[in-house]
Amino acid sequence: QVQLRESGPGLVKPSETLFLTCTVSGDSIRNYAWNWIRQSPGKGLEWIGYFYINGSTNSSPSLKSRVTFSVDTSKNQFYLKLRSVSAADTAVYYCARDGVSRASDIWGQGTMVTVSS
């Protein structure tokens, strides 16, 4: 079955750039749109943005200026780059698939990112 797995540094210093990887297994990354979503400790879910292999993309206005999405189809991986991080970016970061229903039907297990010096 389709599985997603996030990976990242765990700890990032303030003002640095966060780089996260989502590895997709069981299906081609070309077949769907993909989302990044985060959850700050004890808080609700926050949609970061989505991208599709054809270049279509959108992101939250509050993060748009700091976010970049990219993909490596040969590795079936996609990536999130978040620049100039601060403590407010401390969260569990999830990648998720846009299903045929357009809702996020498959999620990774999440990766915790802490921003601290």
The site for another protein (CB under 8 A) is made up of 35, 44-47, 49, 58-61, 94, 99, 101-105, 107-110
Least distance in angstroms from the C-beta of 103 to another protein: 4
- Which residue number, 12 or 49, has a Cβ lying nearer to another protein? 49
Least distance in angstroms from the C-beta of 82 to another protein: 16
- Which residue number, 85 or 94, has a Cβ lying nearer to another protein? 94
The shares of helix, strand and coil residues in the chain, as percent rounded to the nearest 5, are: 10, 50, 40
Query: In degrees, to the nearest 5, what angle opens at C-alpha 55 toward C-alphas 49 and 57?
Result: 20
Q: Are 97 and 106 in contact (CB under 8 A)?
A: yes
For residues 113 and 91, give the distance between their C-alpha atoms in angstroms, rounded to a whole number. Answer: 6
For residues 63 and 44, give the distance between their C-alpha atoms in angstroms, rounded to a whole number. Answer: 16
- Which residue number, 56 or 117, has a Cβ lying nearer to another protein? 56
Least distance in angstroms from the C-beta of 46 to another protein: 7
